Amino acid sequence: MKNKVSNEISIENGLIKSQKADEKNHGLGLKNVRDAVERSKGIFDINVKNQQFIARVVLPLD
Protein backbone atom coordinates (compact mmCIF):
# COMPACT_ATOMS: atom_id res chain seq x y z
CA MET A 1 0.00 0.00 0.00
CA LYS A 2 1.33 3.48 -0.84
CA ASN A 3 0.14 6.80 0.52
CA LYS A 4 1.38 10.28 -0.43
CA VAL A 5 2.41 12.58 2.38
CA SER A 6 2.83 16.34 2.23
CA ASN A 7 4.85 16.73 5.43
CA GLU A 8 8.02 15.12 6.69
CA ILE A 9 7.12 11.94 8.54
CA SER A 10 8.98 9.95 11.12
CA ILE A 11 8.81 6.27 11.97
CA GLU A 12 8.88 5.16 15.60
CA ASN A 13 8.76 1.53 16.75
CA GLY A 14 8.04 0.43 13.18
CA LEU A 15 5.01 2.71 12.80
CA ILE A 16 4.45 6.21 11.45
CA LYS A 17 4.45 8.75 14.27
CA SER A 18 1.27 10.85 14.21
CA GLN A 19 1.69 14.57 13.66
CA LYS A 20 -1.74 15.30 15.11
CA ALA A 21 -2.10 16.96 18.50
CA ASP A 22 -4.18 14.05 19.85
CA GLU A 23 -1.71 11.36 18.78
CA LYS A 24 -2.98 8.89 21.41
CA ASN A 25 -6.11 8.27 19.32
CA HIS A 26 -4.45 8.26 15.88
CA GLY A 27 -2.40 5.65 14.03
CA LEU A 28 -4.28 2.68 15.45
CA GLY A 29 -5.04 1.21 12.01
CA LEU A 30 -1.43 0.44 11.11
CA LYS A 31 -0.76 -0.87 14.62
CA ASN A 32 -3.71 -3.25 14.28
CA VAL A 33 -2.44 -4.40 10.86
CA ARG A 34 1.07 -4.95 12.25
CA ASP A 35 -0.27 -6.93 15.22
CA ALA A 36 -2.44 -9.15 12.97
CA VAL A 37 0.47 -9.79 10.59
CA GLU A 38 2.78 -10.71 13.48
CA ARG A 39 0.17 -13.12 14.91
CA SER A 40 0.10 -14.79 11.47
CA LYS A 41 3.91 -14.99 11.47
CA GLY A 42 4.05 -12.66 8.47
CA ILE A 43 6.17 -9.63 7.63
CA PHE A 44 5.11 -5.99 8.09
CA ASP A 45 7.33 -3.03 7.36
CA ILE A 46 7.08 0.64 6.47
CA ASN A 47 9.42 2.68 4.30
CA VAL A 48 9.42 6.32 3.23
CA LYS A 49 10.50 7.27 -0.29
CA ASN A 50 9.72 10.21 -2.60
CA GLN A 51 7.11 11.73 -0.26
CA GLN A 52 5.26 8.43 0.03
CA PHE A 53 5.05 5.98 2.85
CA ILE A 54 4.89 2.39 1.74
CA ALA A 55 3.46 -0.32 3.98
CA ARG A 56 4.39 -3.86 2.96
CA VAL A 57 2.55 -6.92 4.24
CA VAL A 58 3.63 -10.48 3.47
CA LEU A 59 1.54 -13.35 4.84
CA PRO A 60 2.34 -17.06 4.77
CA LEU A 61 0.07 -19.24 2.64
CA ASP A 62 0.01 -22.20 5.00
pLDDT in tens, 19-56: 666 666 666 788 899 999 999 999 999 888 887 888 89
Per-residue pLDDT at 61: 92
DSSP state of 20: S
Domain residue limits at 50: 11-58
- For residue 1, tell me if it sits in a domain: no
Q: What is the pLDDT of residue 30?
A: 83
Tell me the pTM.
Answer: 0.67
SS3 13: coil
Q: Which of 10, 60, 14, 19 is nearest to 37 (CA)?
A: 60
The pLDDT, as a whole number, for residue 31 is 85
22 backbone dihedrals φ, ψ, rounded to 5°: -95, 65
pLDDT on residue 23: 63
pLDDT at 58 over 90: yes
Residue 24 lies in a domain: yes
Look at residue 42 and tell me if it is in a domain. Answer: yes
Domain count, the chain: 1
